[in-house]
Structure 1
Amino acid sequence: MTRIVVLGGGYAGMTAAITLAARTKRRDDVTITLVNATARFTERLRLHQTAAGEQLADLRIPELLEGTRIEFVQGWVTGIDAHTVRVDDEHTIGYDKLVYALGSVADTATVPGADDHAYTLNTAQDAELLAGRLTNANTVAVCGSGLTGVEVAAEIAERHPDLHVVLLGRQEPGAQMGPKAKAYLQESLARLGVEVRSGVEIVKIRPDAVELTGETVEADLVLWTSGVRVSPLAAKAGLEVDGHGRIVTDPQLRSISNPNVYAVGDSAAVQQAYGLMHGTCQSGMPTGVHAGTSIVRELNGKQPKRFRFGYLHIPVSLGRADAVIQFVRPDETPKRLSLTGRRAVWYKETVSSAPWPSFQRLKKMPAAGLFAWRRGGRYTR
């Protein structure tokens, strides 16, 4: 009997578990266990909507797993060794193959006061907590001008037009996009009344303000979206990690320290020809598919294949009625093609923001339906 354990029920972990279940459904020599801290599936791609006060579907992992042979264990992973996983410091689960998909959270340790005074979008509960405070606020400061910061600033500004929303960051919003898409994004933020302060250095978060180099921005609420960090469990387990704590993998997504451990999603430092992949749903779900498929290949006495991935797009919501899509080359440099307005809204909702139906399809089509193949065998989303 081969015991396969998947740690983490986010996009990458769920994809890996469902792929494994679909491709081993006729085998009686395999068990699959999925461990996650909560029974709720967190749609991290939609947390900016939750933060603005929108009520989203309460998606439950056990419901999705119905009809599979996956055992769901709810609990916090508190330790890992070469053959077992410890959950809630109370019981252990043995494994022969492990898929490490514990994801990442906002890195509030980089600036003093952020951990104590800033809200985050780590979980649906965190986003709901922020949403509950918006009605009594006048100014909201969003720290981080990357895609998450842009989406939540636009969402809050649209849903709460009387609020003053300030977006703070080192780079200008849409910096990774082409000129046309970037200009559209910035014009949309201006139309929504978002005050953008780029090229600034955040040095401290106070309960009522954000301190920048040489000035202070007063705010009733502060949301931190700048940077992420991963769990220290991998390093404590003796697995080789990079400077950010991510598991260093071989070309097949196996830990270079332990070939029985696959790392996927934000938890993995995956090298491609263009450099290290960065954590997104767009890249995380293909790693889950690849890890699941590779373990099945090993069960069948074959060698896993090399993982190759190319980016396809940068999709950004700008409220509920607007969006911008920047199409990119595999290394994420922008192409000339982009979509804006309602066409972009339709595209994002269809392609990027609905993993739940994709999971359902994946249960029936483990090797197709969700992901396409580019020339040369490169995954895309």
Structure 2
Amino acid sequence: MSNSTGTGTDTGTGTGTEQRIVVLGAGYAGLSAAKGAGRHRPVTLVAPEARLLHRVRQHETAAGHGRDWPAIGELARGRRIEHRRARAVELDLAGRKVLLDDGASLGYDTLVYALGSRTAWHDVPGAAEHAYPAERAAELHRRLHEADRPGTLAVVGGGATGIELATELAEAHPRWRVRIVAAGQVGGWFSARARTHIRQVMDRLGVTVHEHATVAEVTPAGLRTTAGPIDADVTAWAASMEPHPLAAEAGLAVDDRGRALVDDLLRSVSHPDVHVIGDAAAVTVPGTGTLRMGCATALPQGQYLGKLLDGRTAKPFTYRYVAQCLSLGRRDGLLQLVHGDDSMRPTVLTGTAGRLAKAAIVTGVLSTLK
């Protein structure tokens, strides 16, 4: 019943006295943890995808610039990893089992929960029915590309995903009228200089900015917001992300956002045989604070946990922020230096320098996973 695309030297879940390690999720956190642990130990990696999703480049996919990213089996080469192409649907924490959508179950000694996050609809009527989330970037591209005539595109969300999506699509589809709609200020967490640059790029690309406009309903004809109606032929939804609910449903201790509470070894505080990493985990680091969701924090957590499970470290997890970056279309970008606690420093790289810095970081993520 196993559908394995891995090419490691061992495709079992462990025999004899070998520890059975099961990793749920093949995003940045899960894949890097599996590769680290799989150096010397058998690992079963459970994920339905055949290829890396590379979420930080979904805005490129929406604009038609995406490509097929490496197969998970290719990235697992040389490791003792079995890639089980299935989806986890239930956790039996007492019995130490994972139930899969194909009806099978996997036993484990150590479980790595790295199911990440998904688009949050916030119970807004019509949003799930009429808007394209980042997970449907390829469908959004087809909708815009195959339209009989250009129209108006509304991107909901003033965070990093919304900014990158709006600028990338405005540049790729100059005949479309692109609007970005935010409940607060677009890029409001950045420094004043960075925010000014973002607005300048949006002005240059013809993106209309609607700030302090909370969306109350999405319809086929547009948005109903607290600032009034906004017409749109197509709506892209990038309002925020939420953790996968399976952790809370199974009984892991979670915070008020549904992120699993973990200790300094990234173990669940309620079930220490379960490690939780990436967007699914509420990781609090002394002097840094609770880490935000994103590739910048997920990948280091996965790398650390891989070393811990492989016996190459026993030290607590530590993390300090360095920078935040954005793509602003194909010709512009932004790199904002930050303090270790993620607060803004005055230094900002913009334009070509910002674009190249962002490209180098994203390329480095893929290189790390390879």
The two structures have a TM-score, normalised by structure 2, of: 0.90
Q: Which residue of 1 aligns with 2:99?
A: 86
Q: Which residue of 2 aligns with 1:377?
A: none
Matches within 5 A, 1:252-267: 252-267=265-280
Q: Which amino acid aligns with 2:299?
A: M
Q: Which residue of 1 aligns with 2:120?
A: 107
Would you say the 8 A contact 2:214–2:227 is kept in 1?
no
Unaligned runs of 5+ in 1: 25-29, 361-381
Q: Which residue of 1 aligns with 2:86?
A: 75
> What fraction of aligned residue pairs are identical, expressed as a percent?
36
Q: From 303, 328, 353, give the equivalent of 2:338.
A: 328
Q: Which residue of 2 aligns with 1:16?
A: 33
3-state SS in 2 of match to 1:243: coil
Distance 1:278 1:110 in 2: 22
Distance 1:150 1:195 in 2: 12
Q: Which residue of 1 aligns with 2:316?
A: 306
Distance 1:175 1:296 in 2: 41
Q: Which residue of 1 aligns with 2:13?
A: none
Q: From 233, 240, 243, give the equivalent of 1:230.
A: 243
Q: From 27, 36, 54, give the equivalent of 1:43.
A: 54
Q: Which amino acid aligns with 1:12?
A: A
Q: Which amino acid aligns with 1:333?
A: S
Cα RMSD for the two superposed structures? 1.5
Would you say the 8 A contact 2:86–2:102 is kept in 1?
no
Q: Which residue of 2 aligns with 1:285?
A: 299
Q: Which residue of 1 aligns with 2:222?
A: 209
Structure 1 residue 95 corresponds to structure 2 residue 108: yes
Q: Which residue of 2 aligns with 1:150?
A: 163
Q: Which amino acid aligns with 1:128?
A: A
Q: Deviations over 1:206-238 (max 9, x none)?
A: 111110125110101111111112222112221
Would you say the 8 A contact 1:100–1:261 is kept in 2?
yes
Distance 2:166 2:132 in 1: 13
- Following superposition, the deviation at residue 308 of structure 1 comes to 1.7
Would you say the 8 A contact 1:31–1:70 is kept in 2?
yes
Unaligned runs of 5+ in 2: 1-17
The two structures have a TM-score, normalised by structure 1, of: 0.88
Would you say the 8 A contact 1:9–1:101 is kept in 2?
yes
Q: Which amino acid aligns with 1:174?
A: G
3-state SS in 1 of match to 2:38: helix
Distance 2:65 2:53 in 1: 14
- Following superposition, the deviation at residue 166 of structure 1 comes to 0.4
Distance 1:250 1:58 in 2: 33
Would you say the 8 A contact 1:78–1:89 is kept in 2?
no
Q: Which residue of 1 aligns with 2:6?
A: none
Distance 1:257 1:333 in 2: 31
Q: From 316, 325, 336, give the equivalent of 2:326.
A: 316
- Following superposition, the deviation at residue 353 of structure 1 comes to 4.4
Matches within 5 A, 1:114-193: 114-122=127-135, 126-135=136-145, 136=147, 137-193=150-206
Q: Deviations over 1:340-374 (max 9, x none)?
A: 111111111112344222112xxxxxxxxxxxxxx
Structure 1 residue 63 corresponds to structure 2 residue 77: no
Q: Which residue of 2 aligns with 1:351?
A: 361
Q: From 40, 43, 48, give the equivalent of 1:32.
A: 43
Would you say the 8 A contact 2:114–2:280 is kept in 1?
yes
Q: Deviations over 1:130-174 (max 9, x none)?
A: 011113240010000111000000000001101100000022222
Would you say the 8 A contact 1:5–1:99 is kept in 2?
yes
- Following superposition, the deviation at residue 289 of structure 1 comes to 1.3
Would you say the 8 A contact 2:58–2:66 is kept in 1?
no
Q: Deviations over 1:32-83 (max 9, x none)?
A: 1111021121010100011112231342111211222111100110111231
Question: Which deviates more from structure 2 when the two are superposed, residues 57-66 or residues 183-192?
Answer: 57-66
Would you say the 8 A contact 1:45–1:353 is kept in 2?
no
Regions of 4+ moved over 3 Å:
none
Distance 2:142 2:24 in 1: 31
Q: Deviations over 1:163-187 (max 9, x none)?
A: 1000000222221211222211110
Q: Which residue of 2 aligns with 1:5?
A: 22
Distance 2:38 2:87 in 1: 22
Aligned residues: 347
Distance 1:214 1:235 in 2: 35
Distance 1:337 1:100 in 2: 36
Q: Which amino acid aligns with 1:277?
A: L
Q: Which residue of 1 aligns with 2:5?
A: none
Q: Which residue of 2 aligns with 1:376?
A: none
Would you say the 8 A contact 1:316–1:324 is kept in 2?
yes
Distance 2:252 2:133 in 1: 28
